[in-house]
């Protein structure tokens, strides 16, 4: 039987560069599956439905909630965002490591339900850098940018609840650290209870036979 994959959550302030990091991770390494979220926010130029997000209406989103089709959902700067459940579970069962790129509220809900989840927080070197990156993107009004900065300030308060933090100053180097972090997480005692149980059983049999 194939070993179940890891559920990994990557969060980070808007403008932390985590989207670019995710794309690089997926193109460089195998065995990762990126979950595509549903959202009620407007599509940005260059975004594609079914690739970046499933862009849905508020009514459709609320139907997904009612049908219990979401693993988690949250409101973020006046819009709904949520993770379709089926894809995540199917991929985990098939042995793939599944990545959710979601904000902190949803991330902590998933961790509470599935303590085995790996939580990674990505951030740029300074608050000034976050603001600069949002401005540079040029897709949001100053009002929305300030709302996102306020939200980032709230998210900063819960970073301590995460398992790992990565400072994204140089993308290639951060990518390698992210990959190493995920692999390190695979080796924790909590995630290897089956191996520990097996070695103890084998010892019991072996030591009995030796007597
Ligand atoms: P953006 O509008 O910039 O694409 O995303 C805004 C925030 O929503 C980001 O922090 C992003 O990680 C988060 N987000 C995207 N999809 C989901 C989701 O399915 N659930 C939750 N809780 N947050 C999400």
Q: Regarding the domain with residue range 36-94, which homologous superfamily does it belong to in the CATH classification?
A: Guanylate Kinase phosphate binding domain (3.30.63.10)
Domain range summary for the chain, segments of one domain joined by + = 1-31+97-211, 36-94
Quick one: which atom of ligand 1 is closest to the CA of 74? Answer: 22
Encode pLDDT of 138-171 as tens digits.
888 999 999 999 999 999 999 999 999 999 989 9
Same fold, 1-31+97-211 and 36-94: no
Residues lining ligand 1, Cβ inside 6 A? 14, 37, 41, 72-74, 76, 81-83, 101-103, 105-106
CB burial class (10 A; 0-12, 13-18, 19+) of residue 71?
buried
Average pLDDT over residues 92-98: 96
What pLDDT shows up at residue 138?
82
> Of ligand 1's atoms, which has the minimum distance to the CA of residue 79?
2
Mutation pick for ligand 1 pocket among 103, 107, 162 (CB with most ligand atoms within 8 Å): 103
Closest C-alpha to 126, from 97, 149, 110: 149
- The pTM of this model reads 0.92
In the chain, % of residues over pLDDT 70: 99
pLDDT (mean) for 64-70: 98
CA distance 147 to 166: 24
Model confidence band, residue 15 (pLDDT cutoffs 50, 70, 90): confident
CATH class as words, domain 1-31+97-211: alpha beta
Q: Closest residue (by CA) to atom 7 of ligand 1?
A: 103
Nearest to 81 by CA among 53, 59, 108, 109: 53
């Amino acid at each position: 039987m194939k070993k179940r994959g890891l559920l990994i959550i990557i969060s980070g302030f808007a403008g932390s560069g985590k989207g670019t990091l995710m794309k690089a991770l997926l193109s460089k390494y195998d065995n990762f599956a990126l979950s595509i979220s549903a959202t009620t926010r407007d599509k940005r130029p260059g975004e594609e439905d079914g690739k970046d997000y499933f862009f849905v209406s508020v009514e459709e989103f609320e139907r997904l909630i009612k049908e219990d089709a979401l693993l988690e959902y949250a409101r973020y700067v006046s819009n709904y965002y949520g993770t379709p459940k089926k894809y995540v579970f199917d991929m985990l069962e098939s042995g793939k490591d599944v990545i959710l790129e979601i904000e902190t509220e949803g991330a902590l809900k998933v961790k509470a339900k599935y303590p085995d989840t790996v939580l990674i927080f990505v951030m740029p070197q300074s608050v000034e850098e976050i603001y600069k990156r949002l401005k540079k993107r040029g897709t949001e009004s100053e009002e929305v940018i300030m709302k996102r900065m306020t939200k980032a300030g709230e998210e900063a308060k819960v970073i301590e609840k995460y398992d790992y933090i990565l400072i994204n100053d140089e993308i290639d180097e951060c990518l390698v650290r992210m990959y190493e972090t995920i692999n390190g997480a695979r080796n924790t005692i909590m995630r290897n209870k089956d191996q520990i149980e097996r070695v103890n059983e084998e010892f019991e049999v072996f030591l009995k036979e030796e007597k």
